[in-house]
Amino acid sequence: MEIEDKVAVKKMMNGNEAVARGAFEAGLKVASGFPGTPSTEVMEYTQQKYPEIYCEWSTNEKVGLEVAIGASFAGYRSMAIMKTVGLHVAADALGGAAGSQINGGLVLVVGDDVGRTAGDDYNDVRHYGNMFNIPVLEPSDSQDAKDLMVKAFEISEEYSTPVILKITSVICKTTSAVVVDESLTYKVQCREKYPVSFSKVIMTTMMMNAKGSEHPKLTKCFHDFPAHMKRLAVDSNNFDINRLELKGTKIGVITSGTPYYYVKEVLPEASVLKLGLIMPLPEMLIRELAVHVDQLYVIEDGHDIMEKNIKDLGVSVVGKELFPKFPEMMRFTPDIIEEKLVAGAQVRKEMSGIPFRLPVSCAGCSHLFISQILKKHKIKAAADVTCGLIGCFPHMESYQLQKCMGSSIALAHGYNVATDHKENFVAMIGDGGFWATGINGLMNLIFNDSQSTTIIVDNSCLAMTGGQHIASSDFGFNYKPENKLEIAKICEAVGVKDIVTVDAYEYEHLEKAILNAVQAPTNSVVIVQKPCVTKFKLPKGNVHFIDQDLCTQCRKCINIGCLAIESKKGADGKVKIVINEDLCVGCGLCTTTCKFNAIKS
């Protein structure tokens, strides 16, 4: 009897799970990073399914990438997980690793929020490929995601370079079949090729200035990374992850990611170059396709990066002139391609007048209490990247300033310095943002003698991305109670003069604490505690309702921005303000706004 050594099973996986599987099959040792939609689940699947792999959520993306770089130098395959906005934070670390000697494969799994489905800005991770001259891979479905993850480690080691695996909100959230060898056992890889690995500054100094010397002290610092990338560009013409599918001669399309499948569906007769490695480009394959077809198109989500790189090769290609990018288009769909390239395609339009869903805070969220108090007392404030940023949207109007994650403390400090501290412009920050980078803003304002007030929302997790743990959480992958960091103690240690901790639901205390802090002649921090209602599923209090006989429809309560308070047209056609009993958690915030005592429990 023959013994099968492979047990191939088809499994349904989304892109995030497939990436985790690929990392496992590649013998990954260390996974680090920071949560960010859409790629957060890559870490969660890795941690849940593969206990052999060391996993950590780091304090921020830069730290996460540095952990991965250190692990890679130790000889072990490592990956850093983040979204593209997070890579902006980690860009300095990537710049240091790019073009340096790589021992264990180093792969960055970076999520692009193509289509802005989670409210991200319009970013494209491939810019980092161009800027740092490093390879970028992009899968088209889950099978591809798993396969490319394995390939990414091989490329990283063979060509001595960090590699970016670009995944998108579509790949991450699309489930399709992946062939998995269930008999495969975890095999850690270790590869110690280089005794040193320095940033390019050191290497280029050696390469350019000590060319003639063969002294081992000098040559061990040499690393001819441009030659590695040139070799990769040539080799990529023969990679099976770059696939030239020659068919009809009328239309040729160069594409990657999920748009490959839109093209295959809408233009079955077209000749297609499907790129798994999108940087560097396989020049010979592109030229072969270009001479085969009458008209060559590039169809890529995000910015016009492949388009520019192809044009730089001197190849004529149609891209954004036919398919204008942001804000005309958020992402490709099969419909858009059909409309432009298929004669007689019917265009269907959504019914007009359907109301838009602005994001709303969960009922009972501590952010609602803070937003409400700031608005009530007309206190100007900066929000951070946190669930509380919903308070910036026009249905809430609680904040005047909001930028990137961890920024609000420094933003408020800058405002106060410029206005000679005449008005105390307050910073609100989530605990996630505080640990990520906000803590730097706090230290900065102390030693620069600022009198700013900071409200830190302690909800015990990184709520916006689904409740991952942070330094002050009571849980986590590597959690030990003795290692938990206390926000109040850190604030005290860095020299904040006035620190108050309040329970968010104690409305009057909270209101007083914020007013006191704003009026205090010194720097101050108000820590607002309440575990995230969604993550921790707090026990429901008494559900509230509105006594329609007393309600004057002044709409003060509805302007809180609570998901549970709705304006509803009844059977009689009259509009009523009602509380959704399924959603109400009984926090009672709405009762503080009602002058007519119409809200009861």
Are 218 and 103 spatial neighbours (Cβ–Cβ below 8 Å)?
no
Among 26, 43, 387, 594, binds other proteins (CB under 8 A): 387
461 makes contact with other proteins (CB under 8 A): no
Nearest approach, Cβ of residue 279 and other proteins (Å): 23
Closest to other proteins by CB, 20 vs 558, is: 558
Binding mask 265-294 for other proteins (x = CB under 8 A): xx----------------------------
222 makes contact with other proteins (CB under 8 A): no
Are 360 and 563 spatial neighbours (Cβ–Cβ below 8 Å)?
yes
389 makes contact with other proteins (CB under 8 A): no
Binding region for other proteins (CB under 8 A) out of 214-222, 258-266, 427-435, 588-596: 258-266
Q: Are strands 575-579 and 565-569 parallel, antiparallel or unpaired?
A: antiparallel
State phi, psi for 524 to the nearest 5 degrees.
Answer: -150, 155
Nearest approach, Cβ of residue 176 and other proteins (Å): 5
356 makes contact with other proteins (CB under 8 A): yes
Nearest approach, Cβ of residue 575 and other proteins (Å): 9
Region of 355 (left: φ > 0; alpha: ψ -120 to 50; beta: rest) is beta
565 makes contact with other proteins (CB under 8 A): yes
Among 444, 501, 559, 593, binds other proteins (CB under 8 A): 559
**3-class SS string, 127-138:** HHHHHHCCCEEC
Closest alpha carbon to 166 in 295, 258, 49, 64: 258
Binding mask 304-333 for other proteins (x = CB under 8 A): -----------------------------x
Closest alpha carbon to 130 in 253, 329, 304: 304
Residue type present at position 100: S
359 makes contact with other proteins (CB under 8 A): yes
Binding region for other proteins (CB under 8 A) out of 238-246, 286-294, 354-362, 510-518: 354-362
454 makes contact with other proteins (CB under 8 A): no
Indicate the SS3 state at residue 438. helix
355 makes contact with other proteins (CB under 8 A): yes
Residue type present at position 124: D
Binders in 116-135 for other proteins, by CB under 8 A: 117-119
582 makes contact with other proteins (CB under 8 A): yes
Closest to other proteins by CB, 293 vs 360, is: 360
Binders in 138-167 for other proteins, by CB under 8 A: 141
Binding mask 96-115 for other proteins (x = CB under 8 A): -------------------x
358 makes contact with other proteins (CB under 8 A): yes
Q: Are strands 271-275 and 242-245 parallel, antiparallel or unpaired?
A: antiparallel
Nearest approach, Cβ of residue 181 and other proteins (Å): 19
**3-class SS string, 478-547:** CCCHHHCCCHHHHHHHHCCCEEEEEECCCHHHHHHHHHHHHHCCCCEEEEEECCCHHHHCCCCCCCCEEC
Indicate the SS3 state at residue 167. strand
16 makes contact with other proteins (CB under 8 A): no
Binding region for other proteins (CB under 8 A) out of 76-84, 310-318, 564-572, 584-592: 564-572
**Dist CA 384 CA 405 (whole Å):** 6
**Dist CA 65 CA 106 (whole Å):** 9
Nearest approach, Cβ of residue 88 and other proteins (Å): 21
End-to-end CA distance of the chain: 73
Nearest approach, Cβ of residue 396 and other proteins (Å): 8
Closest to other proteins by CB, 9 vs 196, is: 9
Among 7, 12, 188, 322, binds other proteins (CB under 8 A): 12
Q: Which residues partner with 600 through β-bridges?
A: 545
248 makes contact with other proteins (CB under 8 A): no
Q: By rule CB under 8 A, what count of residues binds other proteins? A: 56
Q: Who contacts 441 (Cβ-Cβ below 8 Å, separation ≥6)?
A: 406, 407, 408, 409, 410, 413, 427
Helix (H) or strand (E) holding 334: helix 334-341
Helix (H) or strand (E) holding 576: strand 575-579
Q: Who contacts 346 (Cβ-Cβ below 8 Å, separation ≥6)?
A: none
Are 109 and 81 spatial neighbours (Cβ–Cβ below 8 Å)?
yes
State the residues that interact with other proteins by CB under 8 A. Answer: 12, 115, 117-119, 141, 169-170, 173-177, 258, 261-262, 264-266, 333-335, 338, 346, 348-351, 353-362, 387, 390, 393-395, 534, 555, 558-559, 561, 563, 565-569, 580, 582
